[in-house]
Structures are given as structure tokens and as C-alpha cells.
Amino acid sequence: MAMPAEASTNSTIVADYRARTPGSAALFERARELFPSGITHDTRYLDPYPLYVSRAKGSRKWCADGHDYVDYFGGHGALLLGHGHPAVIEAVQRQAAIGTHLGASHELEVRWAELVRRLVPCAEKVRFTSSGTEASHMVLRLARAFTGKLKIVRFIGHFHGWHDQVVAGSVSHYEGGVPVGVLPSIVDLSIVMPSDNVAPTVELLEQRDDIAAVILEPSGASWGQVPLPPGFIQALREVTARRGVLLVFDEVITGFRWSPGGAQAALGITPDLSILAKIVAGGLPGGAVAGRRDIMDLLDFAATRAAKREKVQHQGTYNANPLSAAAAIAALEIVATTDACGRANETTARLRDAMRQVLVEEGVPWGVYGDASAFHIFPNPGGLPVDPASFDPQKLGFKVLKGARDGALVGKLRMALMNEGVDIMPSPGGLVSSVHDGVDIDRTAEGLRRAVRALRAEREIRGG
Ligand SMILES: Cc1ncc(COP(=O)(O)O)c(C=O)c1O
């Protein structure tokens, strides 16, 4: 696994970060006694300690010491409309007062699913879950039940949550092997394929008869950090349809972001099933499986009885909980009726250009790239010859692009940017909302300029 390394103790960047954030340091001292590594999500790991954020609004958030940051975590991608959109707040507050869990079916879940069906092309029927991981678990169960086959094809580096079936090869064990604690027999049921060329997967699907489904991030691994070659998804759609294998899009990030109808609407390719989370629940916890009626009907009591098939089981205390449903309806109505998605995409294109321009002006051999409202930074830890003006991630391949996170460089880059009031994700990259604006872009670009200068002073910029 690409492990974030420890930041050096004699770094000015780290010293400045420590000086700006004593409130975060103090909270971390308490947290490290409570949580492994002091954190509650592996992605939030940062040496010497992560930033503690006390409030957020729009495109910004404020740390425990009161500094503000342009936020590119975006609630791990859940906040296409930015923090605290008034319509979402109003809907959640109204619902909190009249019932947080009704222990019953309710109107909001119906309106929520109607919106999902209106927006997402494959969504003939919908089932809500509490997270993307749960939706991923369910979709694979459905695929196996529907086809009567056991094997799942996944792609190296594509992330589908943290349950046992999808762990190997997603963030570690790229060369094979069983992640610690995971059942080897489950790992054996996945076939993890390369994503730089579709031919081996097409061949596999032509040859084998034991494959239930192919699941992928339609953006390419990690919301496009490792882009797919042109024609990849079209070829998968063609061969899966021909061979009776289900095609599943993981639209946990791309859903309602790549376009109002997700990557499937943007690409014009409809999968058999799709999983959704993050934006689908308006920034509150939630997820969904959506797809073909005949497959989803395996969850239906009457349909399975009539077909003399065993019903697929599904429970979950917080499925379609009213607070998430209220937030989701408010958010998805905005996605459906405004240009929120398009605005975020446009802002992000300008942001990527501005960051790229800084790299060119500063002579930094890195890359900035991405699709829709995502950006990725390739900080070139291996010191390859890279021209930021013409950077093409397709030329580098999986290992190099995923290796962007290796070593102490990314941690230092993040802290250098935080010192300038910008918070990016550790991939490194970020997700942008419909309310980020030109002021945010300017702060980010100038922050990046100062960050790369600080990194250069510490001999962290390699290659050229
Ligand atoms: C593409 C993708 N699939 C699935 C998941 C899992 O979703 P959750 O964190 O809601 O379990 C994530 C989470 O980041 C994701 O990015």
C-alpha cells in the first residue's frame, strides 16, 4: 500500500503548520488516546497530525484555530452544492423536528427515489442503503443471485468501499495476495484486471462462463486519477451484454457530478446496475443501488414468489432515513433543475488551468489533470521528465499515477497548501462544488505557487 511517510522534523513547512494549528494539535493529543492513529477514516491520516475543522460554509471551512481554507475535500465528495446549502439545511431542520426515524415507510423516500429515477438512466428501480460500501455489497449480492454465477471482475485500483469482497487490489495488494483480516476465499472470487487496456478483460469475458458482473469506476480509478483509455467502457458494455454478464457502474463519486445523470448520462452508456452514495444523500449518510427492474425484482417479495426464486435479503436500520431523504430531495432537486453540475465543472476547468499555469511559470515538473469537477495533482515523486504544459496521465500508467502518493512529499504538499488556506485530499487532488468561485481559484493558484516554492526550498521537487 502507498503509505504516507513521516514528515521530516526539520521542515519549515511542518513547523509553520504546527505554529498555525495548535488547536488541532491539542485535539489530536486527546484523539490519539481514543482512536488508532487518532483518526476515524484512513484518508484523514496526516503526520504529525490532521487538521481539525470546526465549521464550514459554501466553499470554505474553518479550523480549530479559526483559519479558513478553500475546501477541496467537499465532504469526501458528497457536497456538490458546497457546505450548508440553505435549501438542504432548511429541509434537514424541518425533518429533524418532526421525526428522525419513523420506523416505517414514508413519503420522503418515495420522492427521493423518484428523483433518482428521473436523473439516473439505469434506475428503473432503487433500493436505499446507509453508505456506498453497503450499496457495493448489495449490488454484488444481487449480481450473483441474478446470474447464478460467483465471480466478479474488478479493475486494479478501483475503489468500491471497504467490505471484504472489494478490498484486494483496490488500495493495496496490487500484485495479488490477501489483505490482512480478509477471507482468502472471498478474495478468490474477484478477478482484478488491468485498466490500461480493455483487451485482456474482453478476452476473459469471452472465455469464461462463471462471471456474474464487471464493476468499475466509470471515471477510472479514484475518480479519474488513473483515467481509462478511450473506448474502454464501450467495449465492456458490448462484451458484457453479449455474454450475459452484468455491467455495474460505481457512481458513488461520479453520480450527479459528472453530469446530473452521472457518468452514465455523460457517456451515453447505460449499465445494468449502478451504485450511488455521497451526493445522492445530499451530504448526509446514505447510498443506493439502482438498476434494471428484472434484477432489482430479486429484492421483491411478490416478484420472487411469482418467479419461484429465492428473494435476496436486505435489511438496514438507517436505509432511507428521513434526515438523509430530506437532504437528498433538496439537493437532487437543485441538481435536476439548475446548472449546479455544469457550474462546478466550469469552475474546475478554470482551476486546473490556473494550477497548471503556476507549474509552468515555476518550472515544476508535475501534472494537473482531471474530468468534470475533479482535479488531480501528479507531484512526480520519482522525478520523471514531465512537462506540466503538455502533461498526459495516459502516458504514465497505473503504477506511476497511483504512486503519486508515495513518500512524505504529499503530506508536505498538503501542509504547505494548508499554510496558504487551501485543503486538498491526499490522493493528491480534490473535488469542487458549484459554489467555488474565482476568489477560491486565485487563492488556490497563489497558494500552490507559494507551496511549490516552499517545497523546492526543502529539495522536495524532483525531475524536470
Ligand atoms: C467510488 C467509490 N465507491 C464506493 C465508496 C464507498 O462509499 P462509502 O464511503 O459511503 O462507504 C467510495 C468512497 O469514497 C468511493 O469513492
Quick one: DSSP state of residue 396?
T
Domain-located, residue 464: no
The three grid cell numbers given for residue 8, joined into one nine-digit string: 521530516
The whole-number average pLDDT for the span 400-417 is 93
The answer to which of 75-79, 206-210, 393-397, 405-409 has the lowest mean pLDDT is 405-409
The whole-number pLDDT of residue 2 equals: 47
Q: List the one residue out of 395, 407, 391 whose CA is nearest residue 353.
A: 391
Ligand 1 atom nearest 77 alpha carbon? 14
Using the atom order of ligand 1, give the atom closest to the CA of residue 161: 6
Q: What percent of the chain has pLDDT over 70?
A: 98
Is the domain of 297 the same as that of 347? Answer: no
In a domain? residue 197: yes
- Tell me the per-residue pLDDT of 107-152, one tens digit each, with 9 for 90 and over: 999 999 999 999 999 999 999 999 999 999 999 999 999 999 999 9
Q: Which of 320, 350, 371 is the last residue of a domain?
A: 320
In this structure, of 7-21, 229-243, 293-307, the range with the lowest mean pLDDT score is 7-21
* pLDDT surpasses 60 at 432: yes
Q: Assign residue 450 the CATH number of its domain.
A: 3.90.1150.10
Q: What pLDDT shows up at residue 464?
A: 61
Q: Is the pLDDT of residue 3 over 60?
A: no
CB 136 near ligand 1, within 6 Å? yes
Find out whether the beta carbon of 427 lies less than 6 Å from any atom of ligand 1. no
* Domain co-membership, 106 together with 65: no
Average pLDDT over residues 23-51: 96
The per-residue pLDDT for 1 is: 45
* Encoded amino acid at 339, one letter: D
| Distance linking the first and last C-alpha atoms of the chain | 27
Whole-number Å distance between alpha carbons of 137 and 133 = 6
Q: Is residue 28 part of a domain?
A: yes
Q: Hey, which residues does 211 pair with through a beta bridge?
A: 151
Residues 128 and 247 in one domain: yes
Same domain, 274 and 345: no
Residues 124 and 57 in one domain: no
Q: Are 239 and 274 members of one domain?
A: yes
Alpha helices in 338-457 (DSSP H): 340-362, 397-402, 409-418, 438-457
**176-203 per-position pLDDT tens digit:** 999 999 999 999 999 999 999 999 999 9
At residue 463 the predicted structure's pLDDT band, cuts being 50, 70 and 90, is confident
Q: How many CA atoms lie within 13 A of 71 on its CB side?
A: 30
How far are the Cα atoms of 4, 14, 268, 414, 415 from residue 7, in angstroms, in the given order? Answer: 9, 7, 45, 11, 10
CB of 286 shorter than 6 A to ligand 1:
no
393 occurs within a structural domain: yes
For ligand 1, the distance from its centroid to the CA atom of residue 280, given in whole angstroms, is: 12
Q: From CA 165, how far away is CA 167, in angstroms rounded? A: 6
* Residue owning grid cell 517545497: 455
Task: Evaluate: CB of 283 within 6 angstroms of ligand 1.
Answer: no
Dist. CA 215 → ligand 1 center (Å):
13
Claim to verify: residue 148 and residue 288 sit in the same structural domain = yes
Residue among 20, 25, 88 at smallest CA distance from 56: 88
Using the predicted structure, report yes or no on whether residue 7 has a pLDDT greater than 60. no
Rounded Cα distance between 388 and 224, Å, is 18
Residue with cell 420522503: 108
HSE of 86 in the Cβ direction (CA atoms, 13 Å)? 0
Answer whether residue 6 shows pLDDT above 90.
no
- CA dist., res. 161 & res. 170, Å (int): 9
Helices (H) and strands (E) in the chain, counts: 18, 14
Ligand 1 atom nearest to CA at 287: 10
Whether residue 248 lies inside any domain: the answer is yes
DSSP string, 141-196: HHHHHHH---EEEEETT----SSGGGTBTTTB-TTS---TTS-HHHHTTEEEE-SS
The CA-atom distances, in angstroms, between 110 and each of 105, 179, 282, 311 are: 9, 39, 15, 22
CA 284 to ligand 1 centroid distance, Å:
13
Alpha-carbon gap, residue 89 to 106, rounded angstroms: 20
* Nearest-angstrom CA–CA distance, 20 and 418: 9
Q: How far apart are CA 350 and CA 137, in angstroms?
A: 37
Tell me the DSSP string of 214-267.
EEE-TT-HHHHTBPPPTTHHHHHHHHHHHHT-EEEEE-TTTTTTTSTTHHHHHH
* Closest by Cα among 53, 55, 57 to 28: 53
Cα gap 73→276, rounded to integer Å: 18
Task: For residue 61, list its beta bridge partners.
Answer: 56, 69
Mean pLDDT computed over 61-82: 98
**Grid coordinates standing for 360?**
509552468
CB atoms within 10 A of CB 305: 10
Domain that holds residue 303: 102-320
Same domain flag for 142 and 187 = yes
Shared-domain flag, residues 298 and 409: no
Residue 3 within any structural domain of the chain: no
Instruction: Give 346-398 pLDDT, tens digit per residue.
Output: 999 999 999 999 999 999 999 999 999 999 999 999 999 999 999 999 999 99
376 found inside a domain: yes
Cell (9 digits) for 359? 507549474
Distance CA 453, CA 13 (A): 11
Decide if 222 is inside a domain.
Answer: yes
Residues 65 and 129 in one domain: no
Three-state secondary-structure class, residue 287: strand
Average pLDDT over the chain, rounded to whole? Answer: 96
- How close is the Cα of 35 to the center of ligand 1, in Å? 21
Q: Are 377 and 424 in contact (CB under 8 A)?
A: yes
Q: Is the CB of 131 under 6 A from ligand 1?
A: yes
